[in-house]
């Protein structure tokens, strides 16, 4: 039997910008993508801590070291600059497989405060 498990999570990411005119996605600093084990175009679930919005989109690579978290397209209407987000991706694995998600927790400037495997 296969099950879905949490693969990656960026916790407390702050929205740095919104771009409603773009065709969709979330732009994430490449350094944060690497630390959280996220790939470009990977599907992610977004949970807005401030307003409770929950939606899915895909990842676009942002510039390294900028700390950018930018919501694009329709998703930009669901958040405000400064909102704190949880960005999560999931994987399907065999039920018997041992797996540890990669989690990073960010500070208010989107710098890694804590990095761990659950």
Instruction: Reduce the DSSP state of residue 100 to 3 states and report it.
Output: coil
* Catalytic residue set: 25, 58
Question: What gap in Å lies between CA 32 and CA 111, rounded to an integer?
Answer: 8
- Give yes or no for a contact between 98 and 12, defined as CB atoms under 8 angstroms apart: no
Cross-strand partners of 65: none
- Give yes or no for a contact between 107 and 32, defined as CB atoms under 8 angstroms apart: no
Q: What single DSSP character describes residue 32?
A: H
């Amino acid at each position: 039997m296969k099950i879905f498990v949490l693969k990656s999570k960026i916790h407390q990411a702050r929205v740095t910008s919104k771009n409603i005119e773009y065709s969709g996605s979330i732009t994430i600093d490449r350094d944060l993508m690497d630390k959280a084990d996220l790939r470009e175009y990977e599907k992610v679930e977004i949970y807005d801590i401030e307003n409770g919005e929950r939606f899915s989109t895909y990842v676009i690579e942002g510039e390294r070291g900028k700390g950018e978290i930018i919501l694009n397209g329709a998703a930009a209407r669901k958040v405000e600059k400064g909102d704190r987000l949880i960005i999560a991706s999931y994987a399907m694995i065999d039920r018997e497989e041992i797996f540890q998600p990669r989690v990073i927790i960010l500070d208010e400037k989107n710098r890694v405060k804590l990095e761990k495997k659950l």
